[in-house]
Amino acid sequence: PTKLRVSEAFLDAQVGEKVRIQGWVRSFRPQKQNLFLHVNDGSSLKSLQVIAPAAMNDPLLGFGCAVEVRGILKKSPHSKQPVELEAEQIWVIGECNPVDFPFKIKERHSLEYIRQFLHLRCRTNAFSSLLRIRSEATAAVHSYFKNNGFLLVHTPTITSNDCEGAGELFQVEPPGTTFANEGSFFSVPVYLTVSGQLHLEVMSGAFPRVYTFGPTFRAENSQSRRHLAEFFMVEAEISFTESIEDLTKVWKSAFGAAASDFTIISAYIFLSPLHLKDTLDDMLRKSFPVITYTEAIDILKRSSETFTFPTDWGCDLMTEHEKFLVKHCGNIPVFVTDYPHDLKPFYARDNQDHPKHTAAAVDLLVPGVGELSGGSLREERLDLLRSRLGEYLDLRRFGSVPHGGFGLGFERYLQCILGVDNIKDVIPFPRFSHSCLL
């Protein structure tokens, strides 16, 4: 018999064929005449119904166990499922003790509950859907950049600079070495990367469009719903960029790239119905509003009577402010531009608008999450770079061009398009303070 993935069993062409499938039992109903089970193998949300004569029952067969089934695929008399597998043989490949198994048959478990079992949550519909979407979205990000002429650069994980200057570094040394002295492994203090941007900027000196997409590390104290100690960031850098609009155009279409192929994604959706196709399509059809930081502060101050998070010009936006602004702008993504220079990293381009002193820096705020992405035009004028970062300054001496880029948190992106409240539910193995399970 042909070995099929469960999703392939639903293709019409297979009806009447003798096949075998392997997977895990998602439901189990022994009746007088027949046994009914559903088998899922992670290939899609669908589970295949298997019917077997009651005599085939095996004490090891039950919810959660791994099986191989051989039989004939038949059209099903029930409208809910187009095909079913009439079993000729069933083998229990791996038994499952139902008492210890944390998921119970027919129960709908919350994301918080299944998160306690990192090693088993991929066996739930909710999390396996998420993993398929995450994988598709990853591929969509790469194909978007490839199709738009970007070069993929593998930026290093170990770096000797604090790109963001936000002081959220993890320092790295082999066990037993003293940190940051002559005897240390690299002879200089080194850290896990907090951003690939400086390395992308290096490459953008020869390739006008570059991107990277990899793990990023920040020692966040926060127990927030949108911060992890290890997350994945999509970063792009574009040379010969004169204006923020050059940047936001790419930014918006990159945002839409993974989300727009909803024929794929909707087949996997199991999570919150909040942000399903219509909302997302609607969001992508509109142009994203652009407001300045100064306008944003005005909006927030005008609304301060109904809103308990006061702010003032010069303060960074808190998550609550960002979510409020998104709602205020019609609950679609919004670009906020021209932040105070002091709030953004040293490399953001100075707008030279004394006395306000802002930078050509932009954040993209999205529903449900707030800040999804941050970017800027980079300061290409050597004399204006006050900070002295050896090679960074050199980059401005040999054929420097106006350029800009952005970094987009991939987990926050998934949170936004799927309406998932907690970032820990969109990554297979979440790392945060006091937690590095598995």
What is the full DSSP assignment across 239-306? ES--SHHHHHHHHHHHHHHHHH-HHHHHHH--S-GGG-HHHHHHHHHSPPPEEEHHHHHHHHHHTTTS
Shortest CB 74 distance to Mg ion, Å? 56
User: Measured from the CB atom, is 183 or 314 closer to Mg ion?
Assistant: 314
Alpha-carbon torsion, ordered 139, 286, 321, 138, to 10 deg: 0
Q: How far is the CB of 145 from ligand ATP (least distance, A)?
A: 17
Residue 425 makes contact with ligand ATP by CB under 6 A: no
* 371 lies in the binding site for ligand ATP (CB under 6 A): yes
Q: Which two tokens stand for residue 161?
A: 């600079």
Among the residue ranges 54-62, 152-160, 254-262, 365-373, the one whose residues contact Mg ion (CB under 5 A): 365-373
Task: Output the smallest distance, CB 195 to ligand ATP, in A.
Answer: 6
Least distance CB 227 / ligand ATP (angstroms): 4
Site string for ligand ATP, 166-205 (x = CB under 6 A): ----------------------------------------
Q: Which is nearer to Mg ion, 83 or 219 (CB)?
A: 219
Residue 216 phi, psi (nearest 5): -135, 145
Among 19, 137, 233, 238, binds ligand ATP (CB under 6 A): 233
Ranges within 371-390 binding Mg ion (CB under 5 A)? 371, 374
d(CA 93, CA 315): 59
Q: CA separation (Å) from 279 to 102, 175, 333? A: 34, 50, 12
Cβ nearer to Mg ion, comparing 238 with 362: 362
DSSP-assigned beta bridge partners for residue 337: 292, 362
Beta bridge partners of 405: 237, 376
Nearer to ligand ATP, 63 or 392 (CB): 392
User: Is the CB of residue 42 less than 8 Å from the CB of residue 128?
Assistant: yes
From candidates 23, 368, 404, 409, binder to ligand ATP by CB under 6 A: 409
What is the three-class DSSP state of 128? helix
The SS3 of residue 141 is helix
Q: Which partner, Mg ion, ligand ATP, none, binds residue 373 by CB below 5 to 8 Å per kind?
A: ligand ATP
- Residues 141-170, one symbol each (x = binds ligand ATP by CB under 6 A, - = not), give -----------------------x------
Among 38, 121, 209, 227, binds ligand ATP (CB under 6 A): 227
Nearest distance in Å: CB 382, ligand ATP: 24
CA distance 364 to 413: 11
Q: Within 13 Å of residue 270, how many CA atoms lie on the same side as its CB?
A: 20
CB-closest chain residue to Mg ion: 374
Q: Where does this chain touch ligand ATP (CB under 6 A) — which range of 15-23, 119-127, 224-232, 237-245? A: 224-232
- Out of 412, 419, 425, 426, name the contact with ligand ATP by CB under 6 A: 412
DSSP per residue, 299-336: HHHHTTTS-S----TTSPPPHHHHHHHHHHTTSS-EEE
113: part of which helix (H) or strand (E)? helix 111-115
- Whether the Cβ atoms of residue 334 and residue 325 lie closer than 8 Å to each other: yes
Q: How many CB atoms lie within 10 A of CB 431?
A: 16
205 binds, among Mg ion, ligand ATP, none (CB under 5 to 8 A by kind): none
Among 10, 103, 145, 231, binds ligand ATP (CB under 6 A): 231
Q: How near is the Cβ of 193 to Mg ion at its closest, in Å?
A: 14
User: Which of 49, 358, 373, 415: binder of ligand ATP (CB under 6 A)?
Assistant: 373
Stretch that binds ligand ATP, among 177-185, 200-208, 250-258, 404-412 (CB under 6 A): 404-412
Residue 223 CB coordination number (10 Å): 10
Residues 22-51 that bind ligand ATP (CB under 6 A): none
- Residue 407 contacts which entry, Mg ion, ligand ATP, none (Cβ below 5-8 A, type-dependent): ligand ATP
Q: What is the DSSP letter of 434?
A: T
Is residue 220 classed as helix, strand or coil in its secondary structure? coil
The residues that touch Mg ion, with contacts defined as CB under 5 A, are 371, 374
The residues that touch ligand ATP, with contacts defined as CB under 6 A, are 164, 218, 220, 227-228, 231, 233, 371-374, 407-409, 411-412
